[in-house]
Every structure is written in C-alpha cells, then in structure tokens.
Amino acid sequence: MSERRFKGFGDKALPFLKALDFHQNREWFLENKDLFESHLKEPLGDLVEDMTERFAGAGLPFRGDRVKSQFRIKRDTRFAKDKSPYNRHLSALLSADGSKWTESGCFYVCIGLPGVRDCYAAVAWWQQKPELLLAMRKAIVEKPEEYRAMVKALKRNRLSLHDVDRLKRLPRGFDTDEADIAEALRNRHFVVRLDIEPDSITSPDLADRLFDFAVRAKPLIDWGKKIEKRVPA
C-alpha cells in the first residue's frame, strides 16, 4: 500500500471556520481563501484519497475523488431562510459509484464547529430510492432475524443505529406489535455515527479511527447490500 496521504487537518482549520461563522461575507472569504485551501480543502482531499485506498483493500464499497466528493463550502441560498453565503463546515461523501449524490450505502465525514454542525463521520443508507426503502421495510418484517442479527453485530462492534428523521407513525401498509421492529420500520434512513473530537482533527491518526469505524459499521452495509441486490434496477 502506498504511503498515507493524509497528514491531518491544519491547525488553523477550526479557527478558520469560527472566523467564517462570524464574518460570513465574500470579501473576507476571498482574503482568506489560501488558508481555507491549505488547512481544510486540501487535507480533506488527502483524506478522501487515503480512505478510498483503505476501503478498497478491506472490500468496503466506498470510493471517492479528492475534488468531486467534497461538498462546496459556498451555500445555495435560493430557497433557504438563512442567507449566510458559506457553510460552517466542510464535508465529503464516499459511495459505491463514487458519486456524492448516491442512493446507496455511503460513508460521510463532516468537519465542523461544535454546536453548529459538529465533527463526525457516518456510515449510512441515506435517502434511498423509494423501491429500496420499501424493500428494506419488507425485509425487516419478513426476515426480522436478519435485521436483529445486524443490530446485534453493530452492538458487538460498539455501534448502534442513530435515530434521525424517523417517522412518527408506522408507514402505511405495515403493522407490528414488536417494539424494535416498529422502531425500525419508522426509519427513513439507517445510520451509524462516530463523533470526532474537534481537537483531534490535526492528527494523521484520524484516518485510522475513521477506517476502524467503517469496518465496524460493515454489518449495516452488508445487510442493505443483500436487500439492494433483490430490487429491480
């Protein structure tokens, strides 16, 4: 395996985001763009390339491009109440097809300010196409032992499904008296999350921790992939 690319984010990465949160104007950003590039954007590109190589070696279905996998720091404010021009975080997404607009399983990392967006990583089935989400819900009902085995495997790996954007009621056409199955059916997404200590992002060891997390999250991806294969293209 080639020499690791990722050397850590720059020591001015979080101070830059804090200052950007305060200034939020194009003039300030352009004056400090070199700082953004060297302490945030380029290191995140290195991290994407590093993780892509590690994931390939471990058989994990996540890959990305150092530029295309990153979400823009500039916000699209056309339909937003908040007209601030810049995000207070920088993030990237790796997926099976290398696209960051995937409907399949993905790996996501966000470098942000505590209390604003936070620093974290996630492995998820996120915003799946309706056919896949329906198939997942049917699989939970028809083969609950497989779903429960996945949850137990995650627990053994010190992970649990993250409650995010869950339906308040069971989706139409589904019914169950079992609490864990009802909870699962109300999921729109299936997510496990790793919180990242903001002070640790300057260390190259961050890549090791993210890789370990993704490996521990593999039961979730394997469960979804098995179902995905049965969904007509």
- Model confidence pLDDT, tens digit, residues 79-105: 888 889 999 999 999 999 999 888 789
3 state DSSP class of 186? coil
Q: What is the dihedral of CA 74, 49, 225, 140, to 10 degrees?
A: -50
Q: Is residue 3 part of a domain?
A: no
pLDDT surpassing 50 at residue 6: yes
pLDDT surpassing 80 at residue 4: no
172 residue type, one letter = R
- Span 33-59, average pLDDT: 97
- Span 196-211, average pLDDT: 96
pLDDT reported for residue 225: 96
Where does the pLDDT of residue 233 fall: very low under 50, low under 70, confident under 90, or very high at 90 and above?
Answer: low
Domain count within the chain: 1
Question: What residues make up the domain containing 69?
Answer: 13-228
- Span 132-160, average pLDDT: 98
Q: Is residue 8 part of a domain?
A: no
pLDDT reported for residue 80: 84
pLDDT surpassing 70 at residue 143: yes
- Span 124-140, average pLDDT: 96
Output the average pLDDT for the chain.
Answer: 94
- CA 184-187-189 angle, 5° bins: 125
Residues near 69 by beta carbon (within 8 Å), at least 6 away in sequence: 48, 92, 93, 94, 98, 100
Q: Is residue 56 part of a domain?
A: yes
Q: Which two tokens stand for residue 7?
A: 């050397």
- Contact assessment for residue 95 and residue 55, using Cβ atoms and an 8 Å cutoff: no
Q: Which two tokens stand for residue 163?
A: 């409650």
- Span 175-181, average pLDDT: 96
pLDDT reported for residue 232: 79
What pTM, to 2 d.p., does this model score?
A: 0.93
The highest-confidence range among 39-48, 82-91, 223-232, by mean pLDDT, is: 39-48
Q: Which two tokens stand for residue 52?
A: 């892509």
Q: Out of 44-48, 68-72, 114-118, 179-183, pick the least confident.
A: 114-118
**Separation CA 193–CA 151 (nearest Å):** 14
Q: Is residue 101 part of a domain?
A: yes
Q: Is residue 6 part of a domain?
A: no
Angstrom distances, CA of residue 129 to CA of 91, 132, 141, 159 = 22, 5, 19, 25
Phi, psi of 203 (to 5 degrees): -90, 140
Where does the pLDDT of residue 2 fall: very low under 50, low under 70, confident under 90, or very high at 90 and above?
Answer: low
Q: Which two tokens stand for residue 77?
A: 């404010």
pLDDT reported for residue 231: 86
Q: Is residue 173 part of a domain?
A: yes
Q: Which two tokens stand for residue 204?
A: 């190259």
pLDDT reported for residue 3: 64
**Separation CA 206–CA 7 (nearest Å):** 9
pLDDT reported for residue 1: 46
Q: Is residue 7 part of a domain?
A: no
Q: Which two tokens stand for residue 101?
A: 């607009």
Which of these, 84, 88, 75, lies nearest to 14 by C-alpha position? Answer: 88
